[in-house]
Structures are given as C-alpha cells and as structure tokens.
Chains A and B, each alone.
Chain A
C-alpha cells in the first residue's frame, strides 16, 4: 500500500440476516488527512465504521492498518490498534471527574492498588493545557457543557495514541462557538499530530469546510471518493441519491378532499422547533428527513405518545384539548410506531390478542365481559384482509412471524378501527419487497376510502412512489414541501440536508 496510506479497506462486504448491507467497499485513508464520509440513512456508514471499529465482524474483504493486516474482534482490539471512535453519545462517565475519565482504563496505581490521584491530576492538567480543555482535572463531567465533554473524549483518544479518529455526527449537540472550537481542534489534530480523521456528517457545509477528501456511500456501495477541491455540493448530492426509480408503485384512483387535520406551531425541546402542517382527506403525505431531523419526535407528539410543549391540533374542525393516545384513538386516529417490537406488538402474546388490542373496548358486553366470538371474527377478518401469513392466530405468538407479517399485524389492529387519520412511522422498515408492496396497497386502499395518511420514511423512493405530497424536515422544522409534479430526488435531499444555497 502507498506510503502515506494509514488504513486500507479492500472489498469489505457485510450482510445481516441475509440482506447485504455493504457491497465490496474499497477505501483508503491517508495519513494526516480529514476524510468526509457522507450518505443517506441506511447507506451503510455506521455499519462500515462498526466493521472498522471492531463492533461487528466483516463477512468478506480485508483491512490493513499501517501495512499489517487488521482483524479486530472487539472494540478493544481496534482501540489498541489506534482507532478511536467519538460517537454522538459520548462514552464518558458523568459522575466522575475529567482526570478520572481520561485515565479510566489505565488509572495510575501504587501500593495495594491505591489510585495515585495526585499523579493523575498533574498528568491530566498537562493534557488540559495542551488541548485547551475548558475545565480542571477535578471538574465532574456531568457539570460540563457538551462541547467541553467532547474535547475530553478527544483528549482521551489522543493520549491512547490514536492514529485514526472517527467522528460520528459530532456537531448535533454543539453550539456555534463549540463547533468552531471543535474544528480548530480537528485542524490541530491532523496538522500537528498527524492523526487521520474520518468525519461523518449530514451537514455538507461542515464536510466541505473541514475535509480534504469526501467519500460518498449509497445503498452499501462506495459511489465515489474525490478531493474536495474537485467536488461541489450538487455533485455530492447527486452521488448520494442518484438511482433509478426501479420499483413500480401501486397506483390508485381517488379524490382528495378538504383539510381535515391541522397542526400549528408544535414544539418539543430541541427536536421539534415549531412545526405546522395541514392534511387533507384522502391525501397521503410523506414526511422525509435525515436522522435527527425530528420526524419521529414530531409524530409521537401529534399522537400524544410523548408530550409536546406547545402546539395546537385541530382535527375535523375540533380543537383537540388533550392529546393522549386514548383521546386520539377516540377521535378516529391511528399510529404505527417506528419500533414495532417495543411499542407496536405484544411479542409473546398470540397474533389474535395483538390484532384486537385497539378494538377490544368496543367488543364488550354485560359487566365488561369481552365477547369472544366477536374477537375471533374480527381477528380472522384482519388476517384475511391483510393477507397475514399465520396458521393459528389464537395460538401463535407474534414474535414467531416474519417482519413483514408482524408489520401487517400492527397495521391490522389499527385498520379494524377504520380510522380517518393514519400516522405511519417507517411502516416498511425491515419488511421484504413483497410485503412492502402489499403494505403500499393497504395504504392506498385507506386513502381511497377517504382517510388521511401521514407517512414518515427514510426511503425517498417509496415516498415518491406512494405520496401525493412530500414534506421535508430538517433541524426540527419543515423546511420544504413538494407536490407530486415537483418530485426530484436531488431537490428533496438538498432540502433534507438543510436547503441553504443551491
């Protein structure tokens, strides 16, 4: 390998449960460079870094670090070899001090394993001075702002002789000032210390400001890597999304009516910063955005699963006073959560119990006793209508079904209530192609009957195929909207990345 390459990845492949996630990645990282790594959600960035960091094992290909083969079997191996990972969620202990954190896995000990605090503090002070950490060795991490904590984490990495530092979305919780400090530090790291940096971020301006080269991943393949000077933002976006709309999406004839759902100025923490939207009867509206845009937080607020700080919801002409799942359901709304295992299904319970979970309160008779025949009939109907492949719904546990069938069970429990407003958060995630198509048809069917659908997804393609309108979120706000006639992959991605400039 060339003298100035510190890391070489050759033909790295990886599959999870039969689905291939990385297709033969060939990438080299040069000594002392800052390499930007960009790509949509699901492009494979995290998986690739996890392979590099020893978190998951690769299926095929090879890695070379400083000329020797590199096969980490655990994060510890990667750390020892000189690869440090600075995640979004830092790995510091907030109840311990700066010095303790820096030396956490190599605490200086004396007789009888007693920790040499004075020695530790002195050494920590040296590093604090060298890296400009705005804290003292005895400050507790918990009392420091995110930016300073990050510097401590970076310091930790450097003193462990890291040769490569990977930053994963480092600026999401930083203020502008802290960001500038980080950039200055990164500058020093690669100029003064000769450390190579892999910088993963959705914020293209930052990537262009910092990086010497930029690598673009798409659908698990490396689409291109080039010097920053030879690239511009539109070119990068084109590489990120450029694909043929190969899948054919089911079409449906329907009419779109008046506005039935209105949300005004919904706010929740830093995730949802004032969102307003209007939805019509029979409309399927897509909500696109990259990780951290606030889509899931928004829809959870709309259904009352999480509490919104402020905002006004009007549904079918009525201002909703209290917003809880119970109330929303009573008004005729439904919500398919992002995580069906944790919040969508009762995994150890039979499919039948899951299918009637929402409608059960309408199947009671005298003294609150549940009408079993009605329960069985409704469950059977859902199984039939949605094509759920299950032999014995009253006995088979939900966890025994395939992902696609599980998702259909979740949809089934809501559809049987005939809601007029449907919020779906990643309804086709982890679902095979065949079932996905069936789910699109189900969604179309509901819209045809006049229901309103809000469809959150990270897959631009499916939104473009199914939705009448796409709203794009970024940084907690709806930054743009496109009608069907205006659908354009690069334009949508551009908006999702912040939309500024062109």
Chain B
C-alpha cells in the first residue's frame, strides 16, 4: 500500500496532467467547439464582449479563491458588490464631494473600503468568534444586501443611483477604453497569483488550508492568515464593485444578485478543492473564462437559460468528483 508514487510511465504522467489541468483542456475544447458550431462566435464584436463579460466576475472570483483555499466560502462578496455600488455611487453623485475633483477617488475609496470592512468583520467572526465561514458570511451577506437596498431607497427616487461623473465610466470600458477593465482585472489576478505562489503568506494559506493543526504546531500564524484571507476576499469584491458600477454607470442595489453561482462554479470547475489546500488563481481564471464562454455560447445558440443551470450543475459535480478522486490517487502536486 505504501508505494513510492512518482508515476513515471507515460500513461501515468498523461493521466496526472489531464486530471490537474482539466480546466485548461476543457476551456480549449469549448473554445474550439464554439468556433466551429456557434454562429458569430469569432466576430470581433463577440470576442470583445467575451473579454468584458469575463471581467464581470474575474476579480471577485479570484478574491474568493483565497477563502476556498482555506476550505471556507464567502457568501458576502455579492453583498459587497451591491453595497459598494450603492454607497460608491452616492459618494460620487450625491455626497458633499460629488462634482468635485475628489468625487471619483472618494468613490473608489468608499467601494474598496466597504469590501475591506466586510472582509474584516467576516475575518473576526471566523477567527475570534470561531464561527464557520458559511454562517459568518451568510449573515454579512443578508445584512449587507438589506443595507444596500435600504440606502438606495433612501437617496434615490428609482431603485438605482445615477448621475455619476462620466470620466468614471472609463473603468467600465466606455469611451474607447475598452481594454482598461481587462487590464485592471488581469493585473489583480496576477497580483493574487504572485501573492499565493511566491510569498510566505501564500505558503501559509496552502498550509492552513491543508492542515490547520499541523500549521499551528509548526509555528505558522493560523489566525492571522485566516483573518487576512477573509479580508482579501472582501477587498477584491470591493474592487469588482468599482468595475461593475463603472460598467453599469449607476449604483445598483441588486448588483450581484445572480452572479454568486457563476463565481463559485468558476472556482470549483477551475479545479480548486472545496476541502481547502489545493488550487490556484490561474485555475480560477480559466474557470471564469470557461463559465463566461459557456454563457456566451448558450446565448449565441439560443438555448434556453435554464439549460445552462443544468450544465453548470453537472460540471460542478464532475469537478468535485475529480477533486475527491484525485485525492485518493497518489498524484503529483499542483
């Protein structure tokens, strides 16, 4: 039973590769199939759309990856989207600093700040109060969503807050700055990847996610690490809020209503284990691209929207199965 593993046979190596890079292969397959069968897929317009759409959940998914690496989940990220959007928009359009040169920086600060605060609250709940992340973030999500709707109703006649400074919209790809949001998302994904794969903090995240008790005995700062990764998740959600508000050109309290499933699906289908300890930002990026592609193709082919739920569900199951299966087989890591 205790055999030395390194599967050196070609078949073994191939199998390891397929299992660990399954998302990339899936992505390429999907892309190929779409190019062949979906009408209008390869048009410039569609590709441009694809890129911008993938940005919609890219940053927030990358942020949540940290939490999943710890075996947890962050329901509140979508509430950060909503609250950030509403409070940020208010700052830029209705607050005392609106219509000044401070409007945009203050707005951005507000949105990112909200993400930070929510992340910190989650972090404290999990680390100090010892609540499971499921419960802690569920609570902040419910409170946050409520606050967003309440505040919007307070300051706006219709449900959303409009009248934001036009130059803010370039962050959403407006006025020819098509690639700006893409660049921002890529930069943040690279930052997150760098953090996880090269720094000491990243090692701690993987160690704590694999075995927090062993990490504790080995002298790693377990509590600090868990706190920080909850904050990071909130922070990234805050940044996503900035991009989303710019794209929608308004503060919308219902922002993020329906993207949670896509976020989680991206991360899981991407290959990060829900048990914690394995996965990566790159995998999540592929996962986001895949989900975006899936949405895009289903749209182009005119398939009913509920079919896509089915497909995503099946894929999540398959990904989870691969996750469990690969843990029983002696595989090469990462």
Contacts and interface: CB of A to CB of B under 8 A. Distances in A.
A395 B332 contact: yes
A359 B215 CA distance: 12
Nearest to B326: A348
Contact of B200 (A343, A364, A390, A397): A364
Contact of A337 (B217, B327, B332): B217
B211 A346 contact: yes
Interface in A402-421: 402, 413
Nearest to B221: A326
A288 interface: no
Interface in B1-42: 2-6
Interface string A353-372: 10001101100100111100
B214 A343 contact: yes
Given A325-B219, A367-B199, A400 B214 contact: no
A396 B218 CA distance: 20
Nearest to B213: A343
Contact of B216 (A305, A361, A367): A305
Contacts of A344: 214, 217
Contacts of B260: none
A400 B199 contact: no
B4 A396 contact: yes
A391 B219 CA distance: 28
A357 B219 CA distance: 9
B6 A392 contact: yes
B151 interface: no
A364 B330 CA distance: 30
Given A325-B217, A344-B214, A396 B5 contact: yes
A419 to B, nearest CB: 11
Contact of A368 (B200, B214, B221): B200
Contacts of B213: 342-343
B5 A370 contact: no
Contacts of A345: 211, 214
B6 A360 contact: no
A303 B5 CA distance: 34
B217 A401 contact: no
B263 to A, nearest CB: 26
Contacts of A367: 199
Contact of A397 (B207, B219, B220, B330): B330
Main secondary structure of the interface of A (DSSP, over half): mixed
A42 interface: no
Nearest to A330: B219
A347 interface: yes
Interface residues of A, number: 39
Interface in A315-359: 325-326, 328-330, 335, 337, 342-350, 353, 357-358
Given A325-B216, A346-B214, A401 B199 contact: no
Contacts of B63: none
Contacts of B327: 348
Contacts of B217: 303, 305, 325, 335, 337, 343-344
A240 B277 CA distance: 46
A347 B211 CA distance: 9
B332 A361 contact: no
Contacts of B207: 346, 349, 353, 357
B99 interface: no
Interface string A61-96: 000000000000000000000000000000000000
A368 B6 contact: no
A402 B5 contact: no
A343 B222 CA distance: 13
Contact of A370 (B198, B277, B330): B198
A481 to B, nearest CB: 28
A18 to B, nearest CB: 11
B128 to A, nearest CB: 16
A376 B1 CA distance: 28
A364 B3 CA distance: 34
A326 B198 contact: no
Given A325-B219, A329-B219, A392-B6, A360 B203 contact: yes
Interface string B222-263: 000000000000000000000000000000000000000000
B198 A400 contact: no
Interface string A362-399: 00100111100000000000000000001110011101
A402 B4 CA distance: 9
Given A325-B216, A346-B214, A400 B330 contact: yes
A401 B210 CA distance: 18
Contact of B214 (A326, A342, A369, A395): A342
Contact of B277 (A348, A364, A396): A348
Contact of A391 (B6, B203, B206, B278): B6
A329 B3 CA distance: 33
Given A325-B217, A343-B213, A397 B199 contact: no
B9 to A, nearest CB: 15
A342 B331 CA distance: 20
A453 to B, nearest CB: 18
B104 to A, nearest CB: 29
Nearest to B277: A348
A358 B218 contact: yes
Contacts of B198: 369-370
B193 to A, nearest CB: 13
Given A325-B216, A360-B203, A397-B333, A391 B4 contact: yes
A390 B198 CA distance: 25
Given A358-B219, A396-B6, A401-B2, A370 B203 contact: yes
B6 A346 contact: no
Contacts of A303: 217
A360 B220 CA distance: 9
Nearest to B2: A402
A296 B229 CA distance: 33
Contacts of A350: 333
Most A Cβ at <10 Å: residue of B218, B221, B278: B218
Nearest to A372: B198
A329 B216 CA distance: 11
Contact of A413 (B4, B218, B278): B218
Nearest to B6: A392
B5 to A, nearest CB: 5
B322 to A, nearest CB: 15
Nearest to A361: B200
A402 B211 CA distance: 20
A346 B200 contact: no
Contacts of B4: 390-391, 396, 400
Contacts of A369: 198-200
Nearest to B224: A326
18 contacts: A305-B216, A325-B217, A337-B217, A342-B211, A343-B214, A344-B217, A348-B210, A350-B333, A358-B218, A360-B203, A364-B200, A370-B203, A395-B332, A395-B333, A396-B6, A397-B333, A400-B2, A402-B2
Interface of B: 2-6, 198-201, 203, 206-207, 210-211, 213-221, 277-278, 327, 330-333
Given A370-B200, A396-B5, 16 more contacts: A329-B218, A343-B211, A343-B214, A346-B207, A347-B210, A349-B210, A353-B207, A357-B207, A357-B215, A357-B218, A361-B219, A368-B199, A397-B331, A400-B4, A400-B330, A402-B2
The 4 closest A-B pairs by CB, nearest first: A329-B219, A357-B218, A368-B199, A400-B5
